[in-house]
A and B are shown apart, each in its own frame.
Chain A
Amino acid sequence: MTLSCTRFGLGSAILAVALACGPAHAEFPEKEVTITVGFGPGGGVDSITRAAADALSAALGQSIVVENQPGAGGALALTALKAKAADGYSLAAAISTTVSFDPHTQTLGYALDDFEYIAAFGVFPEALVALPSRGWETFADVVAAAKDAPDGLTYASTTSLDRVVMASIAEKEGVTIKPVPTKGGAEAVAQTLGGHVDFAYSSGTYYAQAAAGELTVLAGLGKEPVPGFEDKPTLESLGYDISSVNMVIYVAPAGISDEAKAALVAAFEAASTSEPVLELLATRNMGSFTLTGDEFDALIRDQSAKFEAAVK
């Protein structure tokens, strides 16, 4: 930068030096970056964030502070993030649906445009599962069974998203499929194993049971088949125009500088291929899918628009 001083007039040289060397334009980051995880310690989002922290720190040359602020499915942390300074030093970790789905069904203090989308890691292997003793191979068999059942079928539900998905399928097929609300994946899987419901939606807890052959995967909810169960359909391949690609996402408040965003995106790109992150994603059967920057931005906007249409 100082070289360029000789080629410009004195005034512009001073300006250039001031711009280049002033504290506002020092290289990002100059201090530690805080990531607020919108879920409790030990959960999927938390462990992936902590696994990524070392690689992020190495790439940014600053330490990474991981905090937890669980509540309202990540919405509490995002609400708090919106109010923080858009300087790139405050990030939040949540899941895709915290921004792409929840604002359509809840009155929340934030919307899609309140954030810059930095990176997304992994895809939850969301699926519909049932006991093998039911004799169902794919979700198409479930729909056929629902047409014959006088009272319809029941399924263990864990999120509003799965209720929206199932309601749209039931409407299209003219069948009754009643959601049984549960506290989460473990309860949903236990109720299915115990035969108390006909099938279940689960975002990942089912996987070990399915791998052991104690549950049948009926269909995946994502764009791609569930890893390890590639012979099973997705809802889209069965002809339903609905899917859910739910990822662990990292966002910053809207309006951070391009420089800070570029540095963060580069750091997350490096972290996404680091050994601890890949290992953890494999353990949780979340694949190795990573999106950063603009591609991620486009995907989340597309998802949000689709969910908005489905909710109405």
Chain B
Amino acid sequence: MENLLLAAGDAFSPGALLAVVGGILLGYAVGVLPGLSRPAALAVAVPLTYSMTPIGAIAFLVGVTKASAAGGATGAILLNTPGEPSSAATCFDGYPLARKGEATRALKMALFASVFGDIVATVVLIGLAAPLATVALKMGPVEMTAVMIFALTFIAALSGASLSRGVISGVLGLLFATVGLDAESATPRLTFGMIELFDGIPLIAATVGMLAFTEMLVQAQRLAQGHDDAASLNDSSREKDKTIRWSDIRRVFPTTVRSTGIGIGAGIMPGLGPTIGAFLSYAIAKRLAGPRDMFGKGDLKGVAATEAADNAVLPASLIPLFAIGLPGSVSAAILVSAFMLHGVVPGPLVFEQHPRLITGIFLSMIVASLVMLAVGRVGLTFFARITRVPPRVIIPFVLLFCVVGAYLESDIVFSAVVMVLLGTLGFAMQRYGYSVVTFLIGFVVGPLFELSLRQALIVTNHDVSRVFEHPIAVGFLAAAAVAAVVFTLRRDKPATEPSGEDGG
């Protein structure tokens, strides 16, 4: 109890509060601006924390991470330019909603779902970290491979109207993901002797190029062809409806709760990450859609499903960090160094050694969620006006941020060049009906899946029958098989396939 009071004193000290607010503002700004992304924000933010107190530093970084995930929905909804792949699924329903003149409704729903997912996952982190960390340790290579097969079975259904084009896009993404040093032998693959490619095609450059740059080229083309795009955007600026009603919340609530659960699950699994969590959550929500849902045409449920999951991943990915001292994600790894800078070594004993600090951090995380709600609520009134800005002003700004964002990843111009090249490739793919989102899922999942599969083969001594020694893996594989059969049968009955969205 004494610790709780002392920790509350730390967490609500002016310095810590200032750090939280500063982190949220920086994260939100980065999230909202298409082209700038979470890893870029963290790269800038980490050196800023070197002179802060431990609690201030952690609160600041947590604020940046949370808010950039929540802010990422803004670009997705208003401009169809998600800042990172985890918000890409928000475009599916968020952008159609904005086009229908319901931009503010979509933004509000995204914010509420984000904050809900975030708070619930934080409470789970505080209350259940130890038992869930034990579950996380049970997930070895064989289990992770099975989980990814399970997730991809659902996500594959989002590939769009044409199955063959979806497969081609996804496989192209996988091919691009093979560039870099081979994990086992450290042999360079498809690097053409370029040392910049040893770590693979830079992730930020690829995602920013494919998502934001591509969309700007598409909009620029429309503008150049004289389709006065301003007309369509001006349509959406005349908003018909700005309020979220109780009936909306009642309708969306079950989806949000389920998506939060999926996000927490994805966060606990080592390395699965927000992109798979968000897409899996959207895919499951769409599969479970009722007859009145309009997924892909502007349904609030679609926005809530991705945003709740996306934001639930981060606190959940901190569970292994706080419980046993092992970071489960890139963001968590950055927090480890923030701890170490201040002489705190994360480990199984961190709670016993530093109870006041850890309790203080938990309190700051809750404070950060509430600050995020306030900043987001005030901000979205202004953000919604972006739709009134003509594309000829927006396009150059977004392109500039794309270049800056790609460059920030590793401070080399190479990344910016890759961004432009992949953005152009994305434009060509889009033009001929190949989904860039499916490409990116292949690109993001590829390295994870390859590594897990190869690890699984080594630990089972290349004996596939030994998968039966892993009950969790068998469970996920069985579920994936059932889902695949059900989806194939349903595909034959077009009446129950409610949408034909282009997935891009």
Contacts and interface: CB of A to CB of B under 8 A. Distances in A.
Contact of A214 (B140, B193, B337, B348): B348
B175 interface: no
B317 to A, nearest CB: 12
A195 B140 CA distance: 8
Contacts of B138: 194
Given A50-B47, A181-B183, A193 B458 contact: no
Contacts of B461: 151
A284 B347 CA distance: 12
Nearest to B454: A181
Contact of B411 (A69, A105, A181): A69
Given A43-B337, A181-B183, A186-B333, A194 B458 contact: no
A107 B349 contact: no
Interface stretch (B83-91, B113-121, B323-331): B323-331
Contacts of B181: 72
Interface string A197-215: 1000000010111011010
Given A160-B186, A179-B184, A208-B325, A75 B195 contact: yes
B188 A106 contact: yes
A297 interface: no
A209 B198 contact: no
A186 B341 CA distance: 18
B370 to A, nearest CB: 27
Contacts of A69: 410-412
A46 B50 CA distance: 11
A193 B196 CA distance: 34
A308 interface: no
Given A69-B412, A187-B270, 9 more contacts: A46-B337, A71-B412, A109-B195, A160-B186, A180-B458, A190-B320, A193-B324, A196-B140, A212-B347
30 contacts: A41-B42, A41-B334, A42-B334, A42-B337, A47-B50, A50-B47, A68-B411, A71-B410, A72-B199, A75-B195, A179-B184, A180-B458, A181-B455, A182-B451, A186-B326, A186-B333, A187-B270, A189-B326, A191-B455, A193-B137, A193-B324, A195-B140, A196-B141, A197-B459, A208-B325, A209-B324, A211-B349, A280-B341, A283-B340, A283-B343
B198 A75 contact: yes
Q: Which 7 A-B pairs have the closest CB atoms?
A: A208-B347, A196-B140, A42-B337, A72-B198, A194-B137, A41-B46, A181-B183
A212 B349 contact: yes
A187 B329 CA distance: 10
Contacts of B451: 181-183
A227 B43 CA distance: 32
Contacts of A68: 43, 410-411
B199 A208 contact: no
A41 B64 CA distance: 15
Contacts of B479: none
A187 to B, nearest CB: 7
Contacts of A72: 181, 195-196, 198-199
B433 interface: no
Contacts of A75: 195, 198
How many A residues are at the interface, by size bracket?
35 or more
A67 B411 contact: yes
Contacts of B136: 190
Most-contacted residue by chain A among B195, B333, B345 (CB, 10 A): B195
Most-contacted residue by chain B among A47, A151, A208, A211 (CB, 10 A): A208
A108 interface: yes
B139 interface: yes
A205 to B, nearest CB: 7
Given A69-B411, A71-B199, A178-B458, A186 B345 contact: no
Contacts of B418: none
A154 interface: yes
B43 A208 contact: no
Contacts of B43: 40-41, 68
Interface of B: 42-43, 46-47, 50, 136-142, 181, 183-184, 186, 188, 193, 195-196, 198-199, 270-271, 320, 324-328, 333-334, 336-338, 340-341, 343, 345-350, 410-412, 451, 454-455, 458-459, 461
A273 to B, nearest CB: 18
A79 interface: yes
A12 to B, nearest CB: 48
Interface in A3-44: 40-44
A70 interface: yes
Interface string A38-60: 00111110110010000000000
B184 A181 contact: yes
A183 B326 CA distance: 13
A194 B271 contact: no
Contacts of A179: 184, 458
B459 A196 contact: yes
A254 interface: no
Contacts of B47: 41, 50, 66
Contacts of B188: 106-107
B337 A71 contact: no
B50 A194 contact: no
Contacts of A112: none
Given A179-B184, A194-B138, A209-B347, A42 B459 contact: no
A86 interface: no
Given A42-B334, A108-B195, A284 B340 contact: yes
A47 B337 contact: yes
B503 to A, nearest CB: 29
A178 B326 CA distance: 24
A256 interface: no
A279 interface: yes
Contacts of A44: 337
B226 to A, nearest CB: 44
A190 B455 contact: no
Contacts of A211: 347, 349
Interface in A104-121: 105-109
Given A179-B184, A181-B451, A186 B327 contact: yes
Contacts of B348: 208-209, 212, 214
Most-contacted residue by chain A among B184, B343, B347 (CB, 10 A): B347
A260 interface: no
Nearest to A179: B184
B135 to A, nearest CB: 10
A190 B453 CA distance: 17
A142 interface: no
Nearest to A42: B337
A76 interface: yes
A287 to B, nearest CB: 15
A44 B336 CA distance: 10
Given A40-B43, A193-B324, A194-B137, A105 B345 contact: no
A253 B196 CA distance: 20
A67 B47 CA distance: 10
Nearest to A78: B195
Contacts of B345: 207-208, 283
